[in-house]
Amino acid sequence: MSAKQDIYELLLSELEDGVAALGEPRYRAWQVMRWVYGRGVREFAAMSDLPKSLRSALEERYAFGLPRVAQCSTAQDGVKKLLLELADRELIESVIIPARGRVTLCISSQVGCAMACAFCATARMGLRRNLRAGEIVGEVLAAGEKLDPGQPSFTNYVFMGMGEPLANYIRLRRALAIMTAPWGLGISPRRITVSTVGLAAMMERLVVETGVNLAVSLTASSDGQRDRLMPINRRFPLAALLKGCQRVALKRRQRITFEYVMLKDVNDSRQDAERVVKLLAPLRAKVNLICFNRFEGSTFEPSSRQAMERFQAILRDGNLTATIRESRGRDIAAACGQLRVEAQQVDGPLKCAGALRAQ
């Protein structure tokens, strides 16, 4: 990024202050935002209803910090994986997943990740840095340009790419504000899901402050098991995590989605399923059983279809809504982390934490 400020980083009020400082009426900022988000314009010179002097002044102060699409691979099933290069040449990935009339965008929130989940390729990178809000917004815009001609825009947005979104909360919240604002991308918060490993203290804040859906990666039925699979559990053990979930103020008919990556002979037994039923019984919860995608160097194996169906049946018998997510995009290395695909539900999240970088 140059010394100029990234226009995608700005809230309307901040741009209003910016144009006011240039001696222009504040409403000019709204006009600029309409060009930027309503019409997708990427240069001030094209903003024909602004005075030329203002266009030049904006040009001097602000830049369009869109990431560069370094690679775009399309799988046989239509899943597209994008490798995006940021201004400092760091790389992140986003995934476009078409499914039954819906198009979901899986978004990264950090470069790498510090959470060290044992079943995730991204974890091997460690955390390189947080994404700025403008970079997250830029990710959404850059991915939008890779939709097929005639393909409808994204119907769902899931923060399940690289990184732990709640570990980058302030920037995430700003990005969500821009994504959901009427002057911004105008996306309904109900169409957005943020997935966390369970940073219990932040979950409540996320839902109250942004109104988006919450997904929690559970992936274990006991503390011992989760300690091994997800080190965050040592900080927020299951009791603390579930207590945190209970404190989340859900809207009517809203539920927390719990993701459960199915690992053969690790967490997929009958007893595991029964424990999950008990753990989630006090909550308004639904469960996504996610097929583990192998990646190079991983010692885990995916559970069999039979084991997944048995697990699902036990959850359903325990009055939990449980769906099985099929894997998609295997032929384009979507298996680098866990590319998980929504097959049935509108708000069902994906967890596609992955890293072309990590491969």
Q: Is 197 in the site for ligand SF4 (CB under 6 A)?
A: yes
Look at the block and give the residue holding tokens 């957005």: 192
Interatomic CA distance for residues 260 and 275, integer angstroms:
13
336 is catalytic: yes
CB of 112 to ligand SF4, least distance (A): 8
Q: Which of 94, 104, 122, 233 binds ligand SF4 (CB under 6 A)?
A: 122
The stretch near ligand SF4 (CB under 6 A) out of 1-9, 108-116, 149-157, 298-306 is: 108-116
Site string for ligand SF4, 137-166 (x = CB under 6 A): -------------------------xxx--
24 is catalytic: no
Q: Which of 86, 97, 117, 175 binds ligand SF4 (CB under 6 A)?
A: 117
How, if at all, do strands 80-85 and 91-99 pair? antiparallel
Tell me the two tokens of residue 182.
Answer: 């009427």
The stretch near ligand SF4 (CB under 6 A) out of 116-124, 128-136, 171-179, 321-329 is: 116-124
How, if at all, do strands 127-130 and 110-112 pair? antiparallel
CB of 123 to ligand SF4, least distance (A): 4
Q: Which of 113, 120, 291, 336 is catalytic?
A: 336
Q: Is 352 in the site for ligand SF4 (CB under 6 A)?
A: no
Q: Is 349 in the site for ligand SF4 (CB under 6 A)?
A: no
Torsion angle defined by CA atoms of residues 197, 203, 209 and 215, in that order, rounded to the nearest 10 degrees? 50
Q: Is 120 in the site for ligand SF4 (CB under 6 A)?
A: yes
CA distances from 348 to 195, 286, 306, 326 (A): 11, 9, 22, 12
CA 113 to chain CA centroid, Å, is: 13
**Which phi and psi (to 5°) does residue 193 adopt?**
-125, 130
Strand partners, 129: 111
CB of 167 to ligand SF4, least distance (A): 8
Strand partners, 287: 258, 322
CB of 162 to ligand SF4, least distance (A): 6
CB 28 within 8 A of CB 62: no
Q: Contacts with ligand SF4: how many residues (CB under 6 A)? A: 13
Nearer to ligand SF4, 329 or 337 (CB): 337
Q: Is 136 in the site for ligand SF4 (CB under 6 A)?
A: no
Q: Which of 93, 135, 164, 342 is catalytic?
A: 93
Nearer to ligand SF4, 337 or 348 (CB): 337
Q: Which of 10, 113, 172, 192 binds ligand SF4 (CB under 6 A)?
A: 113
Site string for ligand SF4, 51-90 (x = CB under 6 A): ----------------------------------------
Site string for ligand SF4, 290-329 (x = CB under 6 A): ----------------------------------------
The stretch near ligand SF4 (CB under 6 A) out of 32-40, 113-121, 272-280, 313-321 is: 113-121
Q: Which of 32, 79, 86, 123 binds ligand SF4 (CB under 6 A)?
A: 123
Tell me the two tokens of residue 101.
Answer: 């009339």
CB of 74 to ligand SF4, least distance (A): 23
What positions carry a catalytic annotation?
Answer: 93, 336
**Residue numbers of the site for ligand SF4 (CB under 6 A)?**
113, 115-117, 120, 122-123, 162-164, 197, 337, 353
